[in-house]
Amino acid sequence: MNSARTKPASEWRKYWYLPTAAAIGFSTIGLQSYGLGPFVTHIEAEFGWSRSDVMLGLSLSNFVGVFLNILVGMVVDRFGPRHVALTGLVVKTGAFALLGTATGLLFNWLFLWFLVALGIVLVQATVWTAAVATRFDRHRGSAFAVTLSGSGVTAALAPVIATWLIADYGWRVGFIGVGAVWLLVTFPVTLLFFRDTRSERRKPAVDAEQAASPTELPGLTLREGIRTLAFAQLAVSFVCYAFYNMTMAANLVPLLMETGQDQPSAARIAAVMGIVGIIARLSVGFLLDRYPGNIIGGISQILPVIACGLLLADLPGIWPLLAAMVAFGIATGAEMDVTIYMATRHFGLKAFAALFGAVITCGAVAAAIGPVTAGWLHDLMGNYDGLLILVMVVMTIGSLAIGTMRRGPAAYASVGH
């Protein structure tokens, strides 16, 4: 589809259901990061493992993406995102549920996380945003914001649901329950409402928009895009964000417990990050349709530095903890929106899924290193201070990388960008 053919005012009126369905489907992406926290101490107690042992599985799940993200992106560019999304939902939720069958053998634990990894690459952000980008141009920022707000829903609900299931039924049923809840909600919605222009090509075309083929989409090829400075800057920025996100999300509940909170209270405080993330994501989408994305990205990536400083200060009371969660939530809600938005504006849509898959691949390396690094630092120091300092350094670098990006080519930008 050439979205420019669609009048801006008609984008939301005609296709409002697509970003909504994509958001519900995309919520599955965060199960392993936001949902793992409540299980950590129970698994340690059950098997006598260290924190780094538990986090090793999460690291493996991210590392697998290094080899598969670009391939999945190419499949999406060639065949469309619908079938990839439906398959991914089944694989991802099923694999997460299977974590409840862990035997206590480290090889078994890693194998289960390998299955989770296969699900992750099939529900990555490019699968959902590739469809939305074909329907939205002038309001692409806000459409992406709605789509990516799904991860904020997971951040808000997964820790609470998991904590409740663990308390009433044990950690094994907790894994199964969380996976089942997400599959029952996401699969029917995706099946009924997640369709882009490539899905419509199988139906009789009723207008030029539906008749458009993927080859008509403007933009750079995979080879051309990887050679640009914009790709390098986005890759560095996303590497930093992925390290921060995968380390903090999985360790947030245990970290808050070490400040003196019990597990239910820690889960509720951590949920604030998810709620704020949803609000921030929608707000950032509105801003991206009106202001330079590099400035928004640079500001959002500096907020975790402030949040980590608040946690290191160990100030009394609950308000500093809530303030840190708000800062984390804004950054988490904004960064993926900004990165994907900037990618479409710099690379166009021709090979968008493959190019952003390459960006995600770079981030997958950091995401793989992050959790095990966090666990190792905690085992070494007995607290999370070292991790917080490291995150501050990493996110400062990420802020500079995206904040100094130039505007994308005019051929790929809407009016005002």
Average pLDDT, rounded, for the chain: 84
The torsion defined by the Cα of 154, 157, 159 and 164, in degrees rounded to 10, comes to: -150
Which amino acid, one-letter code, is at 304?
Answer: P
How far is it, in rounded angstroms, from Cα 85 to Cα 83? 5
Would you state the pLDDT for residue 395? 95
Q: Give the SS3 label for residue 206.
A: coil
Phi/psi at 383 (5° precision): -155, -175
CA contacts within 13 A on the Cβ side of 381: 13
Contacts of 284 (CB under 8 A, 6+ apart): 141, 145, 296, 300, 333, 334, 337, 338
Is the backbone of residue 355 left (phi > 0), alpha (psi -120 to 50) or beta? Answer: alpha
Q: Give the SS3 label for residue 219.
A: strand
pTM more than 0.75: no
| Greater model confidence, 64 or 208 | 64
Question: What token pair was written down for 290?
Answer: 């009106």
Per DSSP, 195 falls in state -
- The predicted model gives 77-91 an average pLDDT of 90
Hey, which residues does 219 pair with through a beta bridge?
A: 348
- The predicted model gives 56-65 an average pLDDT of 79
Largest CA distance in the chain: 64
DSSP string, 66-96: HHHHHHHHHHHHHH-SHHHHHHHHHHHHHHH
Domains of the chain: 12-198+214-410 (1.20.1250.20)
Would you state the pLDDT for residue 314? 84
Among 77-81, 306-310, 402-406, the range of highest mean pLDDT: 306-310
Phi/psi at 389 (5° precision): -65, -45
Contacts of 24 (CB under 8 A, 6+ apart): 150, 185, 186, 189, 190
pLDDT at 2 over 60: no
Q: Which residues of 86-102 are buried (b: 16+ CB within 10 A; e: fewer)?
A: bebbebbbbbbbbbbeb
Would you state the pLDDT for residue 7? 53
* Cα 256 from chain centroid (whole Å): 22
How far is it, in rounded angstroms, from Cα 367 to Cα 264? 27
Would you state the pLDDT for residue 204? 46
Per DSSP, 216 falls in state G
- The predicted model gives 224-243 an average pLDDT of 91
The H or E element that residue 16 is part of is none
Which amino acid, one-letter code, is at 411?
Answer: A
CA distances from residue 130 to 147, 194, 217, 389 in whole angstroms, order as listed = 11, 11, 12, 36
Residue 282 contacts residue 141 (beta carbons within 8 Å): no
How far is it, in rounded angstroms, from Cα 167 to Cα 184? 22
pLDDT tens-digit series, residues 8-31? 558 888 888 999 999 999 999 888
Q: What is the 3-state secondary structure (H, E, C) of 304-366?
A: HHHHHHHHHHCCCCCHHHHHHHHHHHHHHHHHHHHHHHHHHHHHECCCHHHHHHHHHHHHHHH
Packing angle between helix 263-288 and helix 293-313, nearest 10 degrees? 160
Would you state the pLDDT for residue 10? 80
Would you state the pLDDT for residue 198? 64
Report residue 409's pLDDT band, with 50, 70 and 90 as the boundaries.
Answer: low
DSSP string, 225-260: HHTSHHHHHHHHHHHHHHHHHHHHHHHHHHHHHTTT
How far is it, in rounded angstroms, from Cα 315 to Cα 313? 5
- The predicted model gives 342-355 an average pLDDT of 82
CA contacts within 13 A on the Cβ side of 1: 25
Nearest CA to 134 out of 4, 25, 222 is that of: 4
